[in-house]
Amino acid sequence: MRIEKVYEYDISHELQSEIQDLLIASFPDVYPEHRIYFKQLPHLRFLVYNQEDRLVGHVGLDYRVMNLNKKPIRVLGVIDLCVSQSARSQGIGSSLLAELDQFCAGRNIDFILLFADNMTLYLKNGYKPVKNKCKWLKIDDGFQTSIGLGHEAMDELMIKKVGKIDWEEADLDLLGYLY
């Protein structure tokens, strides 16, 4: 297994096709068939290849400032972490999360943040669920247009502290779209 970091603007047409196939297979009936992002392009991705050099794992990453309780925080957002059906239960998801930990070390990042329907993998890797009232830019992913602001407490929100700031369960303005 090898993990590669790729910046979004360096993705070739061939790699785009491989990523698209993995995302569609991993998120059937919900992932757009004509692109490799759901609402917005990530800044970079970590890709996992097996011994046969086939793409078997993926995570997109979005770096941005958010506002937590009227204070700016630097967040690395996890987008579309997935592992191909044939390669699941082999530790690939945990390997991707460990790669994120290494990536964050020594960088100006306060928290890794994600939204998870199933928290098992993340709990096992040091993430914790938090309760915050969130505000974000709502995007119609089908038409790729902004449709207003969302405001609600999110049960799927998880964080991992990687900097020196402590998390507060207060208002969180994502200052952008919801991952």
Query: For the segment 65-98, what is each residue's pLDDT rounded down to a tens digit?
Result: 999 999 999 999 999 999 999 999 999 999 999 9
Strand partners, 112: 76, 160
| Residue 173 scores a pLDDT above 90 | yes
Select from 77, 69, 148 the least CA-distant residue to 115.
77
Cα separation, 70 vs 150, whole angstroms: 18
Tokens of 176: 């952008």
> What 3-state DSSP class applies to 99?
helix
Q: Which amino acid, one-letter code, is at 172?
A: L
* pLDDT of 33: 86
Residue 123, phi then psi, degrees to nearest 5: -60, -40
111's tokens: 């928290």
Question: Using 50, 70 and 90 to split pLDDT, how confident is the model at 156?
Answer: very high
9 confidence band (pLDDT: 50, 70, 90): very high
Statement: residue 138 has pLDDT above 90: yes
Helices (H), the chain: 13-26, 92-104, 120-124
Calculate Rg over the CA atoms of the chain.
16
pLDDT of 57 reads 98
Task: Please tell me the distance from the alpha carbon of residue 147 to that of residue 144, in angstroms, as a whole number.
Answer: 9
